[in-house]
Chains A and B, each alone.
Chain A
Amino acid sequence: QKEVEQDPGPLSVPEGAIVSLNCTYSNSAFQYFMWYRQYSRKGPELLMYTYSSGNKEDGRFTAQVDKSSKYISLFIRDSQPSDSATYLCAMNYFGNEKLTFGTGTRLTIIP
């Protein structure tokens, strides 16, 4: 079993819809949770960063962490065609030098 599981998709939704992207993990030591966005043929860029359980909002994006269920989510409101990309979750814990990534979910927003 992988430490981090992420549905690879692809996921297609109409413009303006709310998108929900999710990851589950097995290592209870994880305490830092990230979402990266990767456009086609580009490197990933950090989108959201959260520590421990709870919600964090940044514009149309909300990151949610539920440590009791070992489950993290990224919500995109009012989705735009420019949100079409692959979204990778990543996580880490104190003292560890390496991030653990999910496989990524490929998202397409249909105009």
Chain B
Amino acid sequence: DGGITQSPKYLFRKEGQNVTLSCEQNLNHDAMYWYRQDPGQGLRLIYYSQIVNDFQKGDIAEGYSVSREKKESFPLTVTSAQKNPTAFYLCASSIAGGLSGELFFGEGSRLTVL
């Protein structure tokens, strides 16, 4: 079955540690996205990538980094510079840029900083 796989589902980290969230898709989609979801704030875009080896900052990129070395993979690193990293992180993909509107989401990764 085609889809988006995020791992880990739950992650705990200590303050000051970097952590990397994995996102893999087998939908052959060109575009991939990372969103952060907090209660009462909806989905906020962190980074997005339209093609391999290229990515752009979203609305809240500070304290995060990404790479896009393969079409299928778009990992997100939450660095120690992110002031409030505890959140639900969602990876998504689409056939082409947001024009069509249909984003396919993974099941999310919940990060808790202790």
Residues of A within 8 A of B (CB): 6, 8, 32, 34, 36, 41-46, 49, 88, 90, 92, 94-99, 101-104
Interface residues of B in 4-56 (CB under 8 A from A): 4, 31, 40-43, 45, 48, 50, 56
**Does B76 sit at the interface, judged by CB under 8 A?**
no
Say whether A97 contacts B107, CB under 8 Å.
no
Instruction: Check A42 against B99 for contact (C-beta < 8 Å).
Output: no
Of chain A, the residue at the smallest CB distance from B91 is A43
Closest Cβ of chain A to B15, distance in Å, is 25
Query: By the criterion CB–CB under 8 Å, are B42 and A96 in contact?
Result: no
| Overall SS of chain A's interface | loop
Q: Give the nearest-CB partner of A2 in chain B.
A: B42
Choice from A41, A49, A99 contacting B98 with Cβ under 8 Å: A99
B2 at the interface (CB under 8 A from A): no
CB-nearest residue of chain B relative to A44? B105
Closest CB-CB distance, A19 to chain B, in whole Å? 19
| B85 contact set on A, CB distance < 8 A | none
- Alpha-carbon distance A98/B98, docked complex (angstroms): 5
Query: Is the Cβ of B41 less than 8 Å from the Cβ of A42?
Result: no
Q: Which residues of B contact A36 (CB under 8 A)?
A: 103
> Most chain-A CB neighbours within 10 Å: which of B101, B103, B110?
B101
A67 vs B112: C-alpha distance when bound (angstroms): 40
Return the contact of A42 from the options B31, B40, B97, B108 (Cβ within 8 A): B108
